[in-house]
Amino acid sequence: MNFRYLDARRLGAVKSQVNISNNSTITSVSKDGEKMNVGFVFSSNYEPNIGLIRIEGDLTIEDTAENIARALKEWEASERTRLPKDMAEGVHNTILSNCIVEASLMARDVKLPMPVPLPQVTLDKNKDYDTSYIR
C-alpha cells in the first residue's frame, strides 16, 4: 500500500457529541504487469463540521491472472464503480485496516478524536479485583 496524499484538518472546536463517519472508495483499477493496481480514497468526516481526514493511495493486488481479468471486466462493465464482491470485500478491508491506523495518528496531530472508538474497561462494582499489573 502506498499513500499519495494525506490531509488532516481541524475546522472547529469539539463542543458536543461528534459523529464520525469513515468511508473508503475505490477510484481506479488497472492492470500492472501480472498484478492489479487499485486507487482509493479513505475519509473520516467529523460532524458537525469539526474536521476531516483524507488519505489517497494505491494498493497492489497479487492474484491469479483469471481473477485479475474477472476484476477488470467487472470494473469496466459497472462503468468503473465496483469490483467483484469477493474481491471488493478484501480490498476495502485492507484499505480500512491500514488507513484507520494512519488516520488515528493524523487525528492525534490535529487534536481530533480517534476515528474509531477505543475499547472501554468496565468492572463490576460488587466484585473485588486484583489490581496489580503483574501476575
> pLDDT per position in the chain (135 positions), as tens?
999 999 999 998 888 888 999 999 999 999 988 899 999 999 999 999 999 999 999 999 999 999 999 999 999 999 998 999 999 999 999 999 999 999 999 999 999 999 998 787 777 777 665 665 555
Establish if 128 belongs to a structural domain.
no
Establish if 122 belongs to a structural domain.
no
Q: Which amino acid is at 124?
A: D
Establish if 118 belongs to a structural domain.
no
Phi, psi of 93 (to 5 degrees): -65, -40
Fill in the DSSP letter of residue 33: T
The boundaries of the domain holding residue 14 are 2-109
Establish if 88 belongs to a structural domain.
yes
Establish if 84 belongs to a structural domain.
yes
Establish if 55 belongs to a structural domain.
yes
Q: Encode pLDDT of 35-70 as tens digits.
A: 999 999 999 999 999 999 999 999 999 999 999 999
Establish if 59 belongs to a structural domain.
yes
HSE at residue 64, side-chain half, CA atoms within 13 A, is 3
pTM of the entire structure?
Answer: 0.84
Domain count, the chain: 1
Establish if 127 belongs to a structural domain.
no
How long, in residues, is the chain? 135
Cell, residue 15 = 463542543
Helices (H), the chain: 65-77, 85-109
Rounded-to-integer distance, Cα 21 and Cα 19, Å: 7
Fill in the DSSP letter of residue 109: H
